[in-house]
């Protein structure tokens, strides 16, 4: 009966106890990690000391003294490293955001075409998916950039002095709108008219459902917006915007919306690549909707468009959204290949800073934080979208 705390019997019992080994094992794992961490950190500081590089984030405020070719927020070489990184981050967000929209639209079209009853369209969509999915993204970027834009005509004496759009080896110049003094009033009035139109729409719909009155929702809502337009024109007596047409000035294109070949190649590359994956996700999602749902929708006499938008897609989206989110994350990560064609995204800027200062640890941490930020933004939005499409039970 005596409890032998340090006795042979209990020690053996301890050794045979899985719980004991679990704790010991984890202890050793922690010790190993601590040893690994301190050794690596020691090596790192030693190596950086030898190279004469300090560690610390205060360098962010010193002057960057390199230029960034493409930016949508103001930046000059006299600005700080931090500002340069922010310019890169905004550039990454820009190409990611536009790419997400375009890739979704293209993916949806190709995915639907994959299910078309037209054999030729189905085969073309399949060809698209197989070609773009089975070649590396970097190769596609090179193709758009070197075999696409570099082969376009250069600006020379044959270039027309003014044109609605230019497609040259220096990029794309489009006619765009530019704001005038009247733009503010137009936007304000149209926003107001839209809000009223939505209210009227809801009211007419409520009347139809509750009282059985002919609703004419389109007429009411359209009337409100039409009135808004007439009012805005009466007040300002001017068009809401001016067309800004690109034109040739000596050897440079001016005005309009100028899009660089780097940005366009990157955008085309990630859009076409990710769209091929999205197309397969859309196809799988639509095929996951039971056949009975199609038949029920058809037997109710719904038109193809209504059937797709009201019956099939809402159900398919529940299957589509989770893998779609991971494709969006892939797209955001894919934009980091920008460095290969010289578009100044966050990785490009971080790499330039590393080459100038040798601050490897800080650059790595900044990169991790930026991509974590982009991923979090995308995941957050997509989780909200996902939530709104979940089955809502009463």
**Smallest distance from other proteins to CB 178, Å:** 36
The footprint of other proteins on this chain (CB under 8 A) covers a number of residues equal to 54
> Does 138 interact with other proteins (rule: CB under 8 A)?
yes
Q: Which of 227, 238, 340, 377 binds other proteins (CB under 8 A)?
A: 340
Q: What is the dihedral of CA 196, 197, 202, 208, to 10 degrees?
A: 130
> Does 303 interact with other proteins (rule: CB under 8 A)?
no
> Does 207 interact with other proteins (rule: CB under 8 A)?
no
Neighbours of 151 (CB within 10 A): 8
Q: Which of residues 24-43 bind other proteins (CB under 8 A)?
A: 25-26, 29-30, 33, 40, 43
> Does 153 interact with other proteins (rule: CB under 8 A)?
no
> Does 334 interact with other proteins (rule: CB under 8 A)?
yes
**Smallest distance from other proteins to CB 159, Å:** 21
Give the relative orientation of helices 261-287 and 81-114 as an angle to the nearest 10 degrees.
Answer: 40
**Smallest distance from other proteins to CB 91, Å:** 15
> Does 220 interact with other proteins (rule: CB under 8 A)?
no
> Does 154 interact with other proteins (rule: CB under 8 A)?
no
With contacts defined by CB under 8 A, name the span among 190-198, 243-251, 312-320, 370-378 that binds other proteins: 370-378
> Does 13 interact with other proteins (rule: CB under 8 A)?
no
User: 23: which residues sit within 8 A by CB, 6+ positions away?
Assistant: none
> Cα–Cα distances in Å, from 226 out to 183, 188, 220, 233, 290?
17, 14, 10, 11, 43
> Does 259 interact with other proteins (rule: CB under 8 A)?
no
Q: Which of residues 59-98 bind other proteins (CB under 8 A)?
A: none
Burial class of residue 94 in the structure, from the number of CB atoms within 10 Å of its CB (0-12 exposed, 13-18 middle, 19+ buried): middle
With contacts defined by CB under 8 A, name the span among 70-78, 114-122, 162-170, 175-183 that binds other proteins: 114-122
Q: Which of 14, 44, 164, 381 binds other proteins (CB under 8 A)?
A: 44
Q: How far apart are alpha carbons 36 and 34 in whole angstroms? A: 5
> Does 301 interact with other proteins (rule: CB under 8 A)?
no
Burial class of residue 360 in the structure, from the number of CB atoms within 10 Å of its CB (0-12 exposed, 13-18 middle, 19+ buried): middle
Q: How far apart are alpha carbons 326 and 285 in whole angstroms? A: 15
Q: Which of 176, 233, 294, 354 binds other proteins (CB under 8 A)?
A: 354
Binding characters for other proteins, 161-200, by CB under 8 A (x = yes):
----------------------------------------
> Does 294 interact with other proteins (rule: CB under 8 A)?
no
Minimum CB distance to other proteins smaller for 186 or for 277:
277
Q: How far apart are alpha carbons 277 and 327 in whole angstroms? A: 7
Q: Which of 72, 105, 139, 164 binds other proteins (CB under 8 A)?
A: 139
Minimum CB distance to other proteins smaller for 57 or for 365:
365
Q: Which of 131, 164, 219, 365 binds other proteins (CB under 8 A)?
A: 131
> Does 143 interact with other proteins (rule: CB under 8 A)?
yes
Unique residue bearing structure tokens 């070719």: 69
Minimum CB distance to other proteins smaller for 185 or for 360:
360
With contacts defined by CB under 8 A, name the span among 229-237, 306-314, 369-377, 380-388 that binds other proteins: 369-377
Q: Which of 98, 112, 124, 207 binds other proteins (CB under 8 A)?
A: 124
Kindly list the residues in this chain that would bind other proteins in the complex (CB under 8 A).
18, 22, 25-26, 29-30, 33, 40, 43-44, 46-48, 50, 116-121, 124, 130-131, 133-140, 142-143, 146-147, 150-151, 333-334, 336-337, 339-340, 347, 351, 354, 360-361, 364, 367-368, 371-372, 375
């Amino acid at each position: 009966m005596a409890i032998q705390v340090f006795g042979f019997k209990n020690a053996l019992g301890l050794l045979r106890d899985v719980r004991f080994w679990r704790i010991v094992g984890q202890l050793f794992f922690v010790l190993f990690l601590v040893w690994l961490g301190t050794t690596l950190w020691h090596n790192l500081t030693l190596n950086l000391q030898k190279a004469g590089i300090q560690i610390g984030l205060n360098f962010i405020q010193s002057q960057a003294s390199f230029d960034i070719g493409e930016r949508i927020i103001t930046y000059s070489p006299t600005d700080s490293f931090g500002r340069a990184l922010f310019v890169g981050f905004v550039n990454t967000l820009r190409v990611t955001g536009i790419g997400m929209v375009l890739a979704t639209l293209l993916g949806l079209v190709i995915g639907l075409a994959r299910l078309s009853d037209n054999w030729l369209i189905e085969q073309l969509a399949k060809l698209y998916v197989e070609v773009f999915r089975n070649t590396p993204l970097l190769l596609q970027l090179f193709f758009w950039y070197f075999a696409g834009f570099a082969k376009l005509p250069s600006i020379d004496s044959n270039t027309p002095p003014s044109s609605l759009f230019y497609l040259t080896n220096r990029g794309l110049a489009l006619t765009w709108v530019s704001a005038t003094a009247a733009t503010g009033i137009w936007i304000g009035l149209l926003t107001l008219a839209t809000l009223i139109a939505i209210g009227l729409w809801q009211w007419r719909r409520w009347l139809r459902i509750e009282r059985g009155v002919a609703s004419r929702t389109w007429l009411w809502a359209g009337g409100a917006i039409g009135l808004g337009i007439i009012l805005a024109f009466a007040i300002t007596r001017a068009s809401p915007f001016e067309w800004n047409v690109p034109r040739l000035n000596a050897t440079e294109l001016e005005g309009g919306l100028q899009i660089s070949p780097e940005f366009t190649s990157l955008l085309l590359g990630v859009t076409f690549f990710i769209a091929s994956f999205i197309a397969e996700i859309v196809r799988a999602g639509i095929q996951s909707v039971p056949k009975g749902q199609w038949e029920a929708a058809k037997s109710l006499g719904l038109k193809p468009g209504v059937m797709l938008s009201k019956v099939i897609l809402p159900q398919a989206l529940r299957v589509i959204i989770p893998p779609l989110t991971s494709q969006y994350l892939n797209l955001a990560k894919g934009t980091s290949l920008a460095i290969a064609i010289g578009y100044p995204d966050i990785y490009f800027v971080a790499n330039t800073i590393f080459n100038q200062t040798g601050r490897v640890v800080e650059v790595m941490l900044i990169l991790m934080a930026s991509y974590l930020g982009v991923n979090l933004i995308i995941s957050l939005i997509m989780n909200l979208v996902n939530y709104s499409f979940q089955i809502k039970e009463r």
